[in-house]
Structure 1
Amino acid sequence: MKKIGMFPSLVILITVAASLVSYPLLPAEMAVHFGSDFSPDMFMQKWLGLILIPFLMVMFTGTEYYGKEKVKAESKLEFEYCFRLLLVLLAIVQLSLIAYGLGYEIPTGRFALLAASAFTLLLAVYLSYSKKVFLFLRLVGFKKTDAYAKNLWKKITIASLVFFGVACLILAVFMRNDPSYFMMIMVAAVCIIVVGSGVYLNKR
């Protein structure tokens, strides 16, 4: 019998638990949508606002659960991780709405950091399992790279993504100022490390 999996179950459980615990503390109406300046422009009764995203998470998990059977075996990993990323982003949205309803300010920079952290950490985990990671290298001249160099480049890429993801998470929690410049520096550093190491290993 197929199982849904621990990761999606845990993400949904944490989201639902946080919603139930915070329910008595939230105002009768909570913000569920924000404008470009992150000021709320849509409100709902809190029971509806809290149930909407968990409902979507369950629906998407069901889609992934039954959709796996129709996906080719070589594409199942990508299919699975797309849904995992979607679940995590929905969880971040739900927790951000709860935090805002409780009176905590959630600037767009902090939200962006959380999203970037989730994306890069999940990408790092995906790359550690994926066998397709080197297919695109043919487009950038990696045809002559041996197995050792490919594995080393893969480890460098994963380590760089993990560092970037953890740094974004820490910055999201302790951020005091606009993190835009710091994020740009980190993105540039990751690109230089990953691309530079790949080119070096390919041309050595």
Structure 2
Amino acid sequence: MARSLTRLDAISGGLALLTALAGLAVYPRLPAEVAIHFSASGQPDNYAPRAVAVAAIPVVMVLTHLVIKWAARVDPPDDPRTMRGITVATMLLLAVVHGLVLAWNLGYAVPFDLVLVGVLVWGALVAGYAVVREYGLGI
């Protein structure tokens, strides 16, 4: 029995598509070898061919969406909004990270200390959101 696409599927797919289009838009301006990972000091420590770097995160976004969807089926949360919020937040994080990697490779200054703080804040907010949704806490 085939399942129809949900609004969440459309949102996640749309974000992955926008992320892919952003990569394709700047593709000609990217170096042949794109820095894809950075040390804590902000220095690149891993590279990938341009095509792989542009395609990897959109593919990871789709796969992540499918894994989260599967996890919600295997162990459904008490509040269905929990997984929707986590899914959208995760897709947005991956899209932003992809954008920052593209920006750095295009020569823009990316403040890695602020990126790290942002990811930590994101993690705390997503975890807090899940706890509030699942355990109530009066909200």
* Pairwise TM-score range, normalised by the shorter structure: 0.7 to 0.9
Where does residue 8 of structure 1 map in the other structure?
12
Where does residue 116 of structure 2 map in the other structure?
112
Among 20, 26, 31, the residue aligned to 2:24 = 20
Percent of residue pairs identical = 22
Among 39, 43, 47, the residue aligned to 1:43 = 47
| One-letter amino acid of the structure 2 residue matched with residue 77 of structure 1 | R
For residues 109-148 of structure 1, what are the structure 2 equivalents within 5 Å? Answer: 109-112=113-116, 114-115=118-119, 118=122, 126=129, 130=133, 132-134=135-137
CA distance in 2, matches of 1:35, 1:123: 25
CA distance in 1, matches of 2:126, 2:72: 19
> Compared with structure 1, are the counterparts of its residues 69 and 114 closer, same or farther at alpha carbon in structure 2 (3 Å cutoff)?
same
Gaps of 5+ in 2: none
Whose RCO is larger (CA < 8 A, sep 6+)? 2
**Displacement after TM superposition at 1:79 (Å):** 3.2
Residues 97-116 of structure 1: per-residue CA shift (max 9 Å, x gap): 10001000112133135436
Where does residue 106 of structure 2 map in the other structure?
102
CA distance in 1, matches of 2:124, 2:75: 24
**Structure with greater helix percent:** 1
CA distance in 1, matches of 2:37, 2:27: 18
Residues 68-97 of structure 1: per-residue CA shift (max 9 Å, x gap): 332335154333333333222211211111
Among 60, 69, 75, the residue aligned to 2:73 = 69
TM-score by length of structure 2 reads 0.76
Gaps of 5+ in 1: 135-149, 155-204
Larger radius of gyration: 1
**Displacement after TM superposition at 1:119 (Å):** 5.4
> Compared with structure 1, are the counterparts of its residues 36 and 72 closer, same or farther at alpha carbon in structure 2 (3 Å cutoff)?
closer
**Displacement after TM superposition at 1:131 (Å):** 6.5
> Compared with structure 1, are the counterparts of its residues 73 and 102 closer, same or farther at alpha carbon in structure 2 (3 Å cutoff)?
closer
> Compared with structure 1, are the counterparts of its residues 131 and 121 closer, same or farther at alpha carbon in structure 2 (3 Å cutoff)?
closer
| One-letter amino acid of the structure 1 residue matched with residue 87 of structure 2 | F
TM-score by length of structure 1 reads 0.55
CA distance in 1, matches of 2:41, 2:77: 44
